[in-house]
Structure 1
Amino acid sequence: MTLNTLIHNTTKNTVTRLLSFVSCLALAGCTLTEIDQSNDFENNGRDITSPKRDTLYWQESLPPGLPMPDSSFQNGLAQQISYLNRIQEKDYLLDNTQTSVADLKQVTQEISQWLKDPTHQPELVAHQLSGQDQRGNVQITGYYVPILPVRHTPDDMYRYPLYRKPSLRNAEDRFPSREAIDFEGALNGQNLEIAYTSSLVDNFFLHVQGSGVVEYENGERKLLSWGGVNGHAYRSVGKELIERGEIDRADISAQSIKQWLRDHPERQQEILSTNPSYLFFSEGPEKPVGAANVPLTPLYSAAVDPSVIPLGAVLLAQVPKLDAYGNLMGHEFRLLLAQDKGGAIKGPGHIDWYQGIGEEAHKNAGQLKHFGKVWLLLPRHSTSTKLIAQ
């Protein structure tokens, strides 16, 4: 079955879905309450004609065809297989859908065979994620690995530390908040500093990205990888600035947030401290790695909520296509690899799409904030995969 068939079947239901949408508007004002207000901007890519569902996953009656990836995907898939081969067999209960590590391995085998022989029809079923609004709309943001100039020791300019994770003396103790660490010196004197940057704002965005390349004064470069978090709840600074009326929701992006913070140095503590979550780093391998501890593949790796999408899963995604100014032009289908997670990625309404290293990746990641759709690919024939009766 081809992708065109999926698109055709979807189009046939447009009238029914539109009637459902009109009814929802008349009875409940659904578009005003189904998504977070900060994501409700013009041309956000959301399909408001899709019917609602009350389960986490919705099994498609027919599997979509798969978009052919480029050669870099095969390297990412090999890393996916490596991850699945080293974790223990277990089941995943995902609301109405149950699967297992064995199922995820079977998916990679089917796709590997298809890549070697495109005439092979993968025996897969697509399970659509319910999304932020239970209509299948998943917000797809982007992340990247920055290159950040640093110093081994602090000076007048480079004076903002990047930290390793501290140890707790007692199990009941709690790590300090962002405000306590960045503005009250809660980690001073513990020899946890890895490097020093010239900007607290750059540190904050490195925390959001989860990893980055640092370049020391002697030209030496090191990769800093995710080294744990302080356990405090994540709060979006972008959402905070929208709610305070500082940035219009249609203009929110990593770039606009960073510019606002630099334009208002006297308010940095006030705004940054609204997000008490704090990320620690470890000096990792040469290539950026995700939570699955495998190297990330630009434009194919994704950060997910593992309670919704298991690490090691292969996804089909309808991702946003943007112009040079960040305006949505449409969507395209792409295979993604669930290889990472993040403090801001919670629930079925959000995934983070890895864009790569450096400034071009930075620009692309900063503009992504639009809705798309996501399908979890599972084997057609399996003893563990099933849709649980409601």
Structure 2
Amino acid sequence: MKDQLAPLAVVALLLLNACTIVPTPRVASEKPAAPSPAPVLKPTGWDSLTGWSEGDVLPALDAFLRSCSVLKNQPLWQETCIQADSMRGQTAASLRQFFESHFVPHQVLNSDGSGDGLITGYYEPLLKGSRTQSRRYRYPLYTTPDELLVVDLSEVYPELKNMRLRGRLQGRKVVPYYSRSDIASNPSRLQGKELLWVDDEVELFFLQIQGSGRVELENGEIVRVGYAEQNGHPYKSIGKLLVERGELPLEKASMQGIKAWGQRNPQKLGELLRQNSSFVFFLELPAAVPGPLGSLGVPLTAGRSLAVDPRAVPQGAPVFLATTWPNTDKQLYRLMVAQDAGGAIKGNVRADFFWGFGREAADQAGKMRQTGKMWVLMPTSYVSQGYIREAQIR
């Protein structure tokens, strides 16, 4: 009996000392982690997928094959991934037939049975930086501190899959890790963990929100950085805060609007950023990596990778998305692949569209806040063998 109670005691200790439970995110969470949404995947026919016959499926194959580098180790995906690999070089018509023959579409529904949800965007930013601190380059990116504790209890409690406890030891107690404000007021806490230094505090803030990016050094070298860890504090939207304070109208509370506000109000900027307690730590990625790494562990594909809530949508699976282009009513039908996650991406019908790298990608991502519908394409082997419930929680 004592051994059975021990894990519960650990949970109680961590919770009593106010450690935050958050998903392993690409970005920090907007709110403290909510209970897992009830996965609702409704089998449908292909004719129910709005825009399926119009979407270009060819570019999605390469993205899905990247997923297969991970999924092929799961028995129920092996055959599907082998068949997908054989489709290289085939026509669009043949590839569409492949998906229709080897997958069963399941519409993703909210817990109340509705099918509409929020679709936002993200991108890979470019910052100017240096490997050494100077008057120009004075804002550090940090690697993961040694004292940051990350506790995974999913082997004992499967319902906590994709959740982590984060904190630090204070004597014999586990307490919350330092907030953004704590770090800003006493940078010596992370002394020696500086990875790079950049010249723009706002761009660094948004790099933490995106979770990955590139830093151009003075000699022209490009360093790619990716998400390593997070301090466990929930993310507070500074755009929402600016609206509440009357500093920005709602329609201007985009990434672009916030950056413009910061340029106009440099004296207020530091205080505003510190209102977001969440803080992200980075790692340097190999130069040969073809794209930022998502939570699945594979490089993301511009315009084809989605960040989803893995408690509702299985990581690695193809997802057909029906939404609209940013700030327009123009239809956007796209076969995507669920390859990433994010603390702000919570709920069944909820996704973040990866636009890629560059100014256009940043512009589209910053504006995107659309309504959309989602269908997960599940292999026929999952459906025929009754594994759809397992697929929902992978």
Q: Does the C-alpha gap of structure 1 residues 374 and 108 become closer, same or farther in structure 2, counting only changes over 3 Å?
A: farther
Name the counterpart of 1:161. 140
Q: Does the C-alpha gap of structure 1 residues 293 and 81 become closer, same or farther in structure 2, counting only changes over 3 Å?
A: same
User: Does the 8 A contact of 2:349 with 2:373 survive in 1?
Assistant: no
Of the structure 1 ranges 112-121 and 313-322, higher mean CA displacement relative to structure 2 is found in 112-121
Matched residue type, 2:42: Q
User: Does the 8 A contact of 2:40 with 2:348 survive in 1?
Assistant: no
CA distance in 2, matches of 1:158, 1:387: 50
Q: Secondary structure at the match of 1:329?
A: coil
Matched residues, number: 317
Name the counterpart of 2:308. 304
Q: TM-score, normalized by length of structure 1?
A: 0.73
Q: Does the C-alpha gap of structure 1 residues 57 and 67 become closer, same or farther in structure 2, counting only changes over 3 Å?
A: farther
Q: TM-score, normalized by length of structure 2?
A: 0.73
Q: Secondary structure at the match of 1:289?
A: coil
**Per-residue deviation at 1:387?**
6.9
**Per-residue deviation at 1:166?**
0.3
Name the counterpart of 2:45. 62
CA distance in 2, matches of 1:162, 1:197: 8
User: Does the 8 A contact of 2:122 with 2:366 survive in 1?
Assistant: yes
Q: Does the C-alpha gap of structure 1 residues 282 and 358 become closer, same or farther in structure 2, counting only changes over 3 Å?
A: same
Name the counterpart of 1:124. 103
Name the counterpart of 2:60. 73
CA distance in 1, matches of 2:101, 2:242: 46
User: Does the 8 A contact of 2:145 with 2:190 survive in 1?
Assistant: no
Name the counterpart of 2:350. 350
**Per-residue deviation at 1:173?**
4.6
Of the structure 1 ranges 112-121 and 152-161, higher mean CA displacement relative to structure 2 is found in 112-121
Name the counterpart of 1:214. 215
CA distance in 1, matches of 2:111, 2:371: 9
Of the structure 1 ranges 240-249 and 68-77, higher mean CA displacement relative to structure 2 is found in 68-77
Name structure 1 gaps, 5 residues minimum.
1-53, 90-100
Report runs of 4+ in structure 1 exceeding 4 Å deviation.
65-68, 104-115, 131-134
Q: Secondary structure at the match of 2:144?
A: coil
Of the structure 1 ranges 238-247 and 157-166, higher mean CA displacement relative to structure 2 is found in 238-247
Of the structure 1 ranges 75-84 and 234-243, higher mean CA displacement relative to structure 2 is found in 234-243
Residue 384 (structure 1) aligned to one of 358, 373, 386? 386
Q: Secondary structure at the match of 1:167?
A: coil
User: Does the 8 A contact of 1:315 with 1:336 survive in 2?
Assistant: yes
**Per-residue deviation at 1:55?**
5.9
CA distance in 2, matches of 1:105, 1:320: 34
**Per-residue deviation at 1:386?**
4.3
**Per-residue deviation at 1:221?**
1.0
Matched residue type, 2:357: I
Of the structure 1 ranges 157-166 and 344-353, higher mean CA displacement relative to structure 2 is found in 344-353
Residue 183 (structure 2) aligned to one of 181, 184, 204? 181
Q: Does the C-alpha gap of structure 1 residues 109 and 377 become closer, same or farther in structure 2, counting only changes over 3 Å?
A: farther
CA distance in 1, matches of 2:386, 2:86: 22
Asked whether 1:361 is paired with 2:361, we answer yes
**Per-residue deviation at 1:349?**
4.5
**Per-residue deviation at 1:136?**
1.7
Q: Does the C-alpha gap of structure 1 residues 152 and 379 become closer, same or farther in structure 2, counting only changes over 3 Å?
A: closer
Name the counterpart of 1:265. 266
Asked whether 1:290 is paired with 2:277, we answer no
**Per-residue deviation at 1:81?**
0.4
